[in-house]
Structure 1
């Protein structure tokens, strides 16, 4: 099978397309013929060795943790799926190895969920990591109707979804973003606040009594978080483990088929939207990583594994 791989840590120059054996399929596993995958910043951070202290890498590594495709084969005692089923998954495994930028991806069956008929493969592949991170973060904040929540990096892949999920909980949402993204946030009922110098004062203007909760999806904003958070308020971060020293929670998303199914249901119902910037063929993963690294993407970057 064709797969994008790297055989040592490094920058995009270590990526190369090669033929690898199709993965074997054991009990409780499914083999997915991938149609789409998507890029997340963690992909190129892992490629640079950023998780080496935490996770073993088995080279050559196939990067990628998001996938949509069609079940090609099921292993023994896997009644949940059959060949031909359209599925999506957040496919992070316990080691850095057999990722999703490949024609075939082996998954534990419990990682995968069916894609609703009217949801495209592009959207289904773009949703898992960002959507599940947003969902887990908002759930950890335990929002109630009437709460005010500050979301850092609100127009980014995770933040944009988190804003929508928080609004569904009845919360008032203040979102930090560039001035260029202000209208995008207003369109989903979010109060936009421009990030940069003076951020704390601008948040205080939007919420003079403070905020009940904060979700940080960018890092480097702990001072502002603590300055605007009410006594007893809740806060989480996916980017700054130092929040744990101040009563917050450091969020790491897990593969969660039931959670992904709920997100896909919301997308199918038109109650949750995400932006897709552009699609790259498999042999242009390096360029997709470059766009992600440079912060040039205006939405999710999708990989068309069939091209």
Structure 2
């Protein structure tokens, strides 16, 4: 059976924008519940400056505190060497670096140009590879930027190709503000796959305008088989007015199973986890499937 690799982003991208600090015990339980659902790839932590993202200040404790399930990759976001070293010390199985297709977004988000961000990643990838740890690359704003508007597919392809040539084993393409539509998503992917093999590309779509599932379906039709998602639709972008978070894992799994695609994820358990974490955070469940599911 044809299968799709799912990368669960809830514990990192999902929680990092929560206004109230989430206790480490809740984060640890969330990661463990997601592993029990069948996710084989979970981004569990972020080793960025705690001054910028205080929600992730306890990432070392989270990574060292989880009960690890055999066969699950527990990854962490690491923007620089200091972050990488902390992630490795905490036992991260895989790490990720991030930049953007938009110059202005890159300047506002990580205070440097796209070219400078790529230069900064070189020593990170070198050390990670020396330690036998794979590095994932994220490209933000691939279908739109809050400062520059629409982004040319060629610009996305240039950045994605540069990350791949640096040594990133997988490139995740992020519609950070959720403005993309299927036609634009297909045009973007068509350009990027000229620089990076399709089997190394992932879609990371936010659902601000309700287009994420339609965009994912369009890329599945093109052969893409790696998707990032977040339980209960957790997350959001501080640079996008009205952003509603990442596409919900429950909705993605429901779509994929309906298409006859294998995910390895137990949807009943996932729905229960989404309801549980929404209750812990005191927020509405962002998954339509999670709200409607009766098992």
Query: Greater helix percent: which structure?
Result: 2
Query: Greater strand percent: which structure?
Result: 1
User: Normalising by the residue count of structure 2, what TM-score does the alignment of the two structures yield?
Assistant: 0.29
User: Normalising by the residue count of structure 1, what TM-score does the alignment of the two structures yield?
Assistant: 0.28
Larger Rg: 1
